[in-house]
Amino acid sequence: MGQSLSSEFIPGYSFTVNLDGFSCSFGKVQNISSSIEVETIVDGGNNSAPVILRKPKRNPDFLVLERALHSTLTDIAFAFFDVGTQISSITISVKKDGKTVRMFFVTNGVIVEREFSPLDAMDSAVLVQSMKIAHNGITELPLGPGI
């Protein structure tokens, strides 16, 4: 009997993120998406549907990376990724059972925002940092069963 359909999904995955070759640990990556801009024109002779034209992209997409802060040497190095820093390459590798099954590539990113969770002396929550990176597109590389 063949494998069940549910075993083909990617549960229990892990991922790694490299920013310009610097390996960083993140707890969450949000907005893994790309978009285009379009213009809709209603043609007088074609009233059944609008004509959709692709426009030059004027607005960037945004990738949001979140991580808990540590008191390690890695965090000291990570502090150099400040607002305004250009990142020429971002690689996100999604892994299942230790094998890379999908990769995402972002080029020409700029850090546009860094934010820290609130500091609350009455709470024992972990201090979380988020970083918002503007970019102009993500390229996806599906790798099948994993390499």
Q: Judging by beta carbons within 10 Å of its beta carbon (0-12, 13-18, 19+), is residue 67 exposed, middle or buried?
A: buried
Per-residue pLDDT reduced to its tens digit, 109-143: 999 999 988 888 888 878 888 999 999 889 998 77
Per domain, the residue ranges of the chain are: 5-142
> Average pLDDT, stretch 63-88?
81
**Strand partners of residue 95:** 14, 100
DSSP code at position 27: S
Lowest mean pLDDT among 13-27, 60-74, 85-99: 60-74
Domain 5-142 sits in CATH at: 2.40.30.200
Joined together, the tokens standing for residue 104 give: 């995402």
What are the two backbone dihedrals, phi and then psi, of residue 77, each rounded to the nearest 5 degrees?
-65, -35
β-strands 128-135, 61-68 pairing: antiparallel
CB 146 within 8 A of CB 101: yes
Separation of alpha carbons 4 and 34, rounded Å: 32
Per-residue pLDDT reduced to its tens digit, 51-60: 888 998 888 9
